[in-house]
Amino acid sequence: MGCHPPPQHRGEWWPERPEAFDAVLALATDAAAPGRPAALWTLADHWSGTPGVLDTVLTAATDTDPAVRRAAFRALVVRYPERAWPLVRDGATADPSDEERASLVRLVALVWPAEAGAEGILADRAVEDPAESVRAAAAHGRELLRTGTEPLATAVPPPGRVPDGRRGRISP
C-alpha cells in the first residue's frame, strides 16, 4: 500500500472498494478540482497496477497546473520509475515553471546521475536556464556528481515498497 495504512471502513480497506477508486479517479481527472494533486498521488499510490492509472498520471505530467505536474512526477518517480526518466529529462529543460524545472533538475542529479545525458542536462541548465533557481540547482547537481556523492536512487526502496515516514522504516 502507501506511506500510511489506509483507513478502514466497517472492517474493509477503502482502496478495495470500487466506489473509492471511481471517486479518486474522477477527482484526479477533474481539471477544476482543488484536490487534484492529492488525488493523483493517491491514485498512483493505491492503484498503480490498475489499467488506466498510468495513462492518467502520464497525462497529468503535461498539465498546465504546476502542482498537478509535481504530483504526477512524484507518482512517476515512486510508482513507475522505469517510465519517469524520459519525462524528467525532458521536463528539466522544457517545463514552463521555474520551480518545476529546478525540482526536475534536482531529480536528474539525485536519482538518475548515471543516465545518458544527465551530466549534459545539468551542465546546460547551470549556464543556459533563464531562472537563477534552476541554474543553482543544476550547479549543485554538478557538484554532487563531481564529488561522487552517492545517488539517491541507491537509497530508494525496491518497487512496491515505500518509506512509511515514521522513523525511517520501510513498509511493505
Nearest to 24 by CA among 51, 2, 46: 46
List pLDDT tens digits, range 97-110: 999 999 999 999 99
Task: Confirm if 102 and 110 have CB atoms less than 8 A apart.
Answer: no
- The amino acid that residue 26 corresponds to is A
Q: Name residues whose C-beta falls within 8 Å of residue 107's C-beta, 6 or more positions apart in sequence.
A: 73, 77, 88, 92
Q: In the chain, what are the domain boundaries?
A: 15-79, 88-172
List pLDDT tens digits, range 53-101: 999 999 999 999 999 999 999 999 999 998 999 999 999 999 999 999 9
Q: What is the mean pLDDT of the chain?
A: 84
Q: Which CATH architecture describes the domain 15-79?
A: Alpha Horseshoe (1.25)
Q: Per the confidence metrics, is the pTM higher than 0.85?
A: no
Per-residue pLDDT band at 10 (split at 50, 70, 90): low
Residue 35 C-beta-side C-alpha neighbours within 13 Å: 8
Identify the helix (H) or strand (E) that includes residue 8.
Answer: strand 8-9
What pLDDT, on a 0 to 100 scale, did the predictor assign at position 163? 45
Per-residue pLDDT band at 152 (split at 50, 70, 90): low
